[in-house]
Structure 1
Amino acid sequence: MEETTNLSPKADASLYNGQPTDTGSSCPSAGLTSCTPSIQENKGGVSVENVPSGNKQWFVLRVIYGRIIKAQTFVEAKGLECYVPLRYKEVRKQGKKRIITEPLLPSFLFVHASAEQVDYLLQDKNIKAFENRTLLRYYYDHTSHCENAPTKNPPLIIADTAMDNFIRLTSIHNPHIIPVTSDNIKYKLGDEVVITEGEFKDIHGRVTRIAGQQRVLVELFDGYLVATAYVPKNAMKPYVEH
């Protein structure tokens, strides 16, 4: 059963409530184009908190479906920063409209840490003992391969600029922000723009039409996108990367 939360959102919204298949072969250490040897199993009692934290990056981890809050609690208990985007949803109870939150991407957790820290985290025996299944594991970048192992994919890493844009969008309390995948879009993605006014100001993405409305799509990775609510043409301008 999918978890629902009324936590005060550090972030809001999740993308797609499906479970994309992860067929990538394991590349033991993180990196976009290189594949370095995995850290050996911790035999000296070193905890995640004591692992070098330099060169932090945003890693995408797969979570057992419906266990995103348990995964968040587990990671934060290790002293690591993570992000769970939430979706704001309007519901009616006893004739009154309420806004609730639920995980936008119930199969994904975003962890901001070094490659060494994530490796140590995923070696924790409690992860593998969870309900006889692995609570957390790498999600792999299927668009690239490890330099030293060309048949394997490296763990997926999200660039800071892309993650900042995604967090900014999914932190807006608007129930009309919707999750989509590239399969749902029957329109050619248009020009890349930045929104200049309103609650979506400074969000940048590509213009498209969904459900008969002009919106701006933010793509985080591998065809997973979030669409804003309706944005008028005069509230956007061409985006120029600095």
Structure 2
Amino acid sequence: MTKATRYIDGIIDDGASWYALRLFTLKLEEVRTYFTNLGLECFVPEQYVDVEGADGKLHPILRPIVRNLLFIKQPKKDKSLQKLIQETNYKISIIKKHKESQELALIPHDQMYEFRLMCNPEISMRKFLSSEEAQMKAGDEVFVKFGPLKGMNGRLVRSSKKYYLLKEIPGLGVMLKISRWCCVPIEKK
């Protein structure tokens, strides 16, 4: 079984929505461990980076894409995420739908499922963007009908003379290289 297959097998869509948390600390691993110990599922987009080891050789290690962003699966009804955040020793905020709104940005399970699949660290033709950069990318809404991304939807954008499928969620966007011939436009209602 390859690493990519193990990664995909670990991504399960159980119908639960997710929250995006912005951290005001560089202790991402400590915060992730804190929430994991409380029984919450966490997700951090990561990629392989070559680091020189003590032997002078380069070794690939997983590093977070963004050091101040953590995704947490919506807790069961008996737990309040806001209360858990208030009880931490870390400065954290839940990303809101809009800057002026007090409503929390709850990421639907299907969007988060596809986003986590697209964040597979084994995929090399991938780009990560800030929310602002992702919103600046013009592109048509498409449904992928063929190929390894079959069944996903997002925006088809062009960057550096290549086509990418862009999936955007609060706080981050990810683009995977794709052939535009695999996509069909989504008809607007």
Tell me the TM-score normalised to structure 1 length.
0.59
Moved more, 186-195 or 212-221: 186-195
Give 1:233 deviation, angstroms.
2.1
Same amino acid, percent of matched pairs: 22
1:137 paired to 2:97: no
Find the residue that maps to 2:128 and give its secondary structure.
Answer: strand
Tell me the TM-score normalised to structure 2 length.
0.74
Find the residue that maps to 1:87 and give its secondary structure.
Answer: strand
Moved more, 196-205 or 210-219: 196-205
Equivalent residue, structure 2, for 1:74 = 34
Give 1:184 deviation, angstroms.
3.8
Contact 2:167 2:173 in 1 (8 A): yes
Q: Deviations over 1:154-195 (max 9, x none)?
A: 222111221112112113621221111354469752221123
1:117 pairs, out of 56, 80, 102, with 80
1:106 pairs, out of 54, 62, 67, with 67
Contact 1:57 1:114 in 2 (8 A): no
Contact 1:195 1:201 in 2 (8 A): yes
Distance 1:236 1:95 in 2: 45
Equivalent residue, structure 2, for 1:18 = none
Correspondence list, 1:1-242, <5 A: 10=10, 57-89=17-49, 91=50, 99-112=60-73, 113-114=75-76, 116-124=79-87, 127-128=88-89, 134-142=90-98, 145=101, 153-171=102-120, 173-181=122-130, 183-184=132-133, 189-221=138-170, 224-229=172-177, 231-239=178-186
Change (3 A) 1:183 1:173: same
Distance 2:111 2:142 in 1: 14
Give 1:204 deviation, angstroms.
1.7
Between Structure 1 and Structure 2, which shows a larger proportion of helix residues?
A: 2
Moved more, 99-108 or 162-171: 99-108
Q: Which runs of 5+ in 2 are unaligned?
A: 1-5
Find the residue that maps to 2:184 and give its secondary structure.
Answer: strand
Distance 1:186 1:142 in 2: 14
Change (3 A) 1:184 1:117: closer
Distance 1:197 1:98 in 2: 35
Change (3 A) 1:173 1:199: farther
Q: Deviations over 1:7-65 (max 9, x none)?
A: x8557xxxxxxxxxxxxxxxxxxxxxxxxxxxxxxxxxxxxxxxxxxx96412212234
